[in-house]
């Protein structure tokens, strides 16, 4: 798929990117090359290939799923600039 200068100008305008007029022809050639590579990827036969989550097969370490009481509330509230009755005090944001 070839990208022409008018298309590059329109896309740059939509993206609110200013490109000098002298650069548009080179940018159109670069974008056409990128789309050419994408078209080549569409030709690759991926039938029977399992999706990957990583390029390296690594087993993720798992921790025990244990229910806790959530930690030490007084220790957590000690980090707050202001607290009252066991809660964080924050400025009002809704009028």
What is the C-alpha to C-alpha distance for residues 36 and 42, in angstroms, rounded to an integer? 10
Does residue 40 surpass a pLDDT of 90?
yes
Considering the chain, what percentage of its residues have pLDDT values greater than 70? Answer: 100
Which residues on neighbouring strands pair with residue 87, listed in sequence order?
84
Q: Residue 73: which pLDDT band, with cuts at 50, 70 and 90?
A: confident
Q: Which of 27, 37, 39 lies closest to 3, judged by CA?
A: 27
Identify the residue with better confidence: 37 or 53.
Answer: 37
Question: Predicted confidence band at 6 (pLDDT cuts at 50, 70, 90)?
Answer: very high
Q: What pairs with residue 84 in β-bridges?
A: 87
Rounded Cα–Cα distance for residues 28 and 79 (Å): 54
The C-alpha torsion from 33 through 17 and 8 to 11, rounded to 10°, is 110
pLDDT band at 72 (very low <50, low <70, confident <90, very high): confident
């Amino acid at each position: 798929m070839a990208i022409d200068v008018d298309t590059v100008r329109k896309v740059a305008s939509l993206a609110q990117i200013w490109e000098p007029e002298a650069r548009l022809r080179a940018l159109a050639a670069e974008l056409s090359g990128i789309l050419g590579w994408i078209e080549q990827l569409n030709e690759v036969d991926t039938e029977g290939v399992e999706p990957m989550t990583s390029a390296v097969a690594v087993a993720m370490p798992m921790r025990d799923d244990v229910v806790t009481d959530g930690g030490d509330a007084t220790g957590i509230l000690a980090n707050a600039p202001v607290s009252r009755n066991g809660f964080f005090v924050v400025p009002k944001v809704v009028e």
